[in-house]
Structure 1
Amino acid sequence: MSLRIGTIAPNFKIETTNGTIDFHEWAKGSWTFFFSHPADYTPVCTTEMGRTAQLAPEFAKRNVKPLGLSTDTVEEHMGWIKDVNETQNTVLEFPIVADKEKKVSELYDMIHPDEDSNAAIRSVYIIDPDMKIRLTMTYPMTVGRNFSEILRVIDALQTTDKDEVACPADWQPGQSVIIRPSVSDEDAKVKFPQGWETLRPYLRLTDLDK
């Protein structure tokens, strides 16, 4: 199965640190930041889990549920969470999937044999409330994720879902957005009464906050 942008994220039922979850039921009505890590009690993963926990208010205000995963057991996860909380000065409350049999990892193509045949790489899936995959990112085992980018892309996706716009390179919330080429100038006058700046016929910038 090929997991591409726009496809439905596969469902699964599995044990986590917060009990058994049915993924689609658990995620219902929310966005999901689903991410895998290679192993518990490893340095980069510890910082990533800690950063996710620290950003809990930021995820919550965007209606996003974080969900971690590795091929360790629930018992190993629970012990490691104590280390995460202590070393990263946080309280980790989101669930971590215990994928010992690698069923979910393989379902989501998180096992890359040339990197490691037994551990998941650092995969990211941003999944919307309709359970559609909206973004994928893959990091090597030695490089931690950029959480500012993860929040930025969630903001961008939610903005482009709300308004018929696109977000330019390096866009941040509050900055100008692009009116999509599919929107005629006539329709744009109705959708964007604040007006816009035309740099090219195909490049029209507008400020949503005006």
Structure 2
Amino acid sequence: MENLATFPHLNEAAPDFNAKTTHGDRQLADYKGKWLILFSHPADFTPVCTTEFIGFQKHAETFRGMNCELLGLSIDSLYSHLAWTQNIKEKFGVEISFPIIEDIKMDVAKAYGMVHPGAADTQAVRATFFIDPNGILRAMVYYPMSNGRSIDEFVRLLQAMQTSDANKVATPEGWTPGCDVIVPPPKSPDAIKARLAEGYKTTDWYYSTKSL
């Protein structure tokens, strides 16, 4: 079993990589100053993965408008990726505009903990990694082999993290832009006393919200 200490950790630097893709060589440094969603899929020419790639592509412009690039990966060859994306274009009318990493030796997959022996020794699971403009890993989401991801949720999560960063707030369950955000709770007795006079929508000393 892989040592969990070798897997990436939230709020630490994302593992570096230098890999061949369908759009030429890519390394993590190429995305400095932008958000990056790096996501793996079990295999090319599989039905669930096909729906996910179509979903990512349909949201690609939305992500780019949020200063975020997409980068796919599977343990398949570059030629397999090219043939599959061509098939998606011919059969589904969707042209995949983002790069896909060739990871035959599983170097990137192992560095990011994408290979789970309980699911498969030779395939990457449905893992999704959000890396911020400073190269810090901010979120990880794993799905089982049998079920496709919700790209709408990834848009929402990125919106939430960007809002938290910009405003130093947290977001409640199911938050979407326009909803109230959560103000950080006070950290001292004096701050607790002051909270009620700060003008927030305060339910109790530890729970206050505001609109942006």
**Corresponding residue number in structure 2 for 1:192:** none
Structure 1 partner of 2:22:
17
> Runs of 5+ in structure 2 lacking a partner?
1-5
2:3 alignment partner in structure 1: none
Instruction: Using the TM superposition, give the Cα deviation of residue 50 of structure 1 relative to its aligned residue in structure 2, in angstroms.
Output: 1.0
SS of the residue aligned with 1:34? Answer: strand
Provide TM-score, normalisation by structure 2: 0.90
Q: Select 1:104's aligned residue among 95, 102, 108.
A: 108
Does residue 133 in structure 1 map to residue 137 in structure 2?
Answer: yes
Match of 1:90 in 2: 94
Q: What is the CA distance between 1:57 and its match in structure 2? A: 1.1
Partner residue, 2:211: 207
Report the counterpart of residue 48 of structure 1 in structure 2. Answer: 52
Would the alpha carbon gap of residues 87 and 198 (structure 1) be closer, same or farther in structure 2, given more than 3 Å must change? Answer: farther
State the 1:161 CA deviation: 0.2
Query: Is the alpha carbon distance of 1:181 and 1:88 closer, same or farther for their aligned partners in structure 2, counting shifts above 3 Å?
Result: farther
Helix, strand or coil at the partner of 1:138: strand
1:204 is matched by which residue type in structure 2?
Answer: S
Aligned to 1:168: 172
Equivalents in 2 of 1:150, 1:73: separation in Å?
Answer: 27
1:72 aligns with 2:99: no
- 1:89 deviates by 2.9
Cα distance between partner residues in 1 of 2:50 and 2:168:
39
1:108, 1:87 → 2: CA distance?
32
Asked if the contact 2:186/2:205 (under 8 Å) is kept, the reply is: no
Specify which of 2, 21, 26 is matched with residue 7 of structure 2. 2
| Paired residue type of 1:53 | Q
Seen in structure 2, the aligned counterparts of structure 1 residues 69 and 176 have a Cα distance that, compared at 3 Å, is same
Query: Residue 139 of structure 2: SS of its match in structure 1?
Result: strand
Q: Which runs of 5+ in 1 are unaligned?
A: 190-194
Conserved 8 A contact 2:89-2:96: yes
1:182 deviates by 4.2
Q: CA RMSD in A?
A: 1.5
Distance 2:186 2:131 in 1: 25
Cα displacement (A) at 1:87: 3.7
Distance in 2, matches of 1:175 and 1:88, equals: 36
Given that residues 47 and 88 in structure 1 are in contact (C-alpha distance below 8 angstroms), is that contact kept between their aligned partners in structure 2? no
TM-score w.r.t. length of structure 1: 0.91
Asked if 1:151 is matched to 2:155, the reply is yes
Which digits, 9 at most, give the CA deviation of each residue in 1:127-186, with x for residues without a partner?
A: 100111100011111110011111111000000000121100111111011111148557
Shift in Å, 1:205: 1.2
Amino acid at match of 2:150: N
